[in-house]
Amino acid sequence: MPTPKPRVFSGIQPTADSLHLGNYLGALKQWVALQDDYDCIYSVVDLHALTVNPDPAVLRHRVRATAAQFLAAGVDAERSILFVQSQVPQHAQLTWLLNCLTGFGEAGRMTQFKDKSAKLGEKSITVGLFDYPILMAADILLYDARLVPVGEDQRQHLELSRTLAARLNSRYGEGAAVVPEALIVKQTAKIYDLQEPGAKMSKTGHPAGIIELMDDPKTIAKRIKSAVTDSGQEITWDPREKPGVANLLSIYSALTGRTVEQLVNDYQGKLYGHLKADLAEVVIEALAPFRERTALYLQDPGQLDRVLDQGAERAEAIARTVYQRVAARFGLGQAGAAAG
Ligand code: AQP
């Protein structure tokens, strides 16, 4: 019998109509490539999106739109499992068990919670937002995932997932959980906001700083043209002194496969304007087929829902077994389960 492939899990929140270039280069691109060698499970993590209280109709649309973009990017729903998180009830169940294993102070140290709650203001912060990283740990541990492809912004959350998996094993005996590893590709680990090159490109950032995968060519060209660079003239790789230019070079390199060194060489003696004009063409060309494919998937929501239902069935078959195994270690469930 062939040895089973190691498992990969990752998810993206349906918090916008379109994903952005950071989501694509930091995560989705790796998801697609990993399908050849891993047993991949990818999720539209709608329970995570609830932490910022979305409008129900808007959320429903964004779940489908996000799934359509996964498929358009190359996620293969036959080879991999593609599903919507809320359709598998064990995510919420395992979260509760992990909540009872996590220190309040430990969860309070998560920088994303601090950043997001500062943005939202005290009145809008929910317990759900605080609990987000524990739900993320449950997502990963529920599938015994070994590898989690994410951007740099998720490193701290991944570390918490590893800590909780190790804690399960030390408290309840080896084999309770698989300790996952983060897969973070250095070059595209963090794509920055085009207007504020010190901040990550984010769905909820200012529109002028974001390139959405569903943007039309005119918008893409405009956004890149008005990207903040710096007062110098020379195109060099200097993320500290020239973070705006470095960000453009990273995006360019990731989309064309040319190394940053080659690009710096290509643009010797040229101006920022040349780099921006060429990059706009590269991005427009890369995203055109993606936009077309997404539109096609969205034309047939019934078929999209069937794909997601099948994915949820396959995901739940794994999640049910793993949840029962972990719950039994806690002393929950029927006595017979504990022997398994
Ligand atoms: N700027 C980025 N550079 C590289 N990777 C990024 N990711 C997000 N932004 C960048 C990666 O995309 C995946 C999906 O993230 P998410 O939607 O689950 O949540 P997020 O990290 O909070 O992404 P956003 O875009 O910033 O969403 P909002 O504004 O809703 O919070 C993750 O793997 C993430 O690392």
Give the mean pLDDT of the chain.
Answer: 94
> What residues contact 136, with CB distance under 8 A and at least 6 apart?
11, 45, 48, 154, 157, 160, 161
Q: pLDDT category, 340, cuts 50, 70, 90?
A: very low
Catalytic residue list contains 225 = no
Residue-wise pLDDT for 278-311, tens only, equals 999 999 999 999 999 999 999 999 999 999 999 9
Structure tokens at 196: 């504020």
Q: What one-character-per-residue DSSP string does 228-286 give?
A: ---S-------TTT-HHHHHHHHHHHHHH---HHHHHHHTTT--HHHHHHHHHHHHHHH
151 CA to middle of ligand 1, Å? Answer: 7
What pLDDT is stored for residue 4 in this prediction? 86
Tell me whether strands 7-12 and 39-44 are parallel, antiparallel or unpaired: parallel
The protein residue whose alpha carbon is closest to atom 35 in ligand 1 is 151
pLDDT > 70 in the chain, percent: 98
Estimate the crossing angle of helix 90-99 against helix 127-141, to 10 degrees: 110
Residue-wise pLDDT for 314-329, tens only, equals 999 999 999 999 999 9
Q: pLDDT category, 225, cuts 50, 70, 90?
A: very high
Query: Are the CB atoms for 77 and 307 separated by under 8 Å?
Result: yes
> What residues contact 202, with CB distance under 8 A and at least 6 apart?
20, 22, 193, 210
Question: Which residue among 5, 114, 119, 200 is the active-site one?
Answer: 200
Residue-wise pLDDT for 251-278, tens only, equals 999 999 999 999 999 999 999 999 999 9
Q: Is residue 214 predicted with pLDDT exceeding 90?
A: yes
Render the burial of 257-280: b for 16+ CB within 10 Å, e for the rest.
eeebeebbeebeeeebeebbebbb
What pLDDT is stored for residue 103 in this prediction? 97
187 CA to middle of ligand 1, Å? Answer: 16
Catalytic residue list contains 203 = yes
Residue-wise pLDDT for 83-98, tens only, equals 999 999 999 999 999 9
Question: Which residue among 29, 114, 190, 203 is the active-site one?
Answer: 203
Other C-beta atoms closer than 10 Å to the C-beta of 303 total 10
Of residues 152 and 178, the one with the higher pLDDT is: 178
- Ligand 1 pocket test target in 44, 152, 202 with most atoms within 8 Å of CB: 202
What pLDDT is stored for residue 335 in this prediction? 55
Atom of ligand 1 lying closest to residue 151 CA = 35
Residue-wise pLDDT for 93-138, tens only, equals 999 999 999 999 999 999 999 988 888 888 888 999 999 999 999 9
Query: Are the CB atoms for 133 and 107 separated by under 8 Å?
Result: yes
Atom of ligand 1 lying closest to residue 189 CA = 4
Structure tokens at 63: 């779940």
Q: State how far Cα 311 lies from the chain centre.
A: 18
CA-based end-to-end distance of the chain: 23
Q: Is residue 339 predicted with pLDDT exceeding 50?
A: no
Question: CA geometry: angle at 85 spanning 254 and 122, to 5°?
Answer: 85
Structure tokens at 321: 């077994």
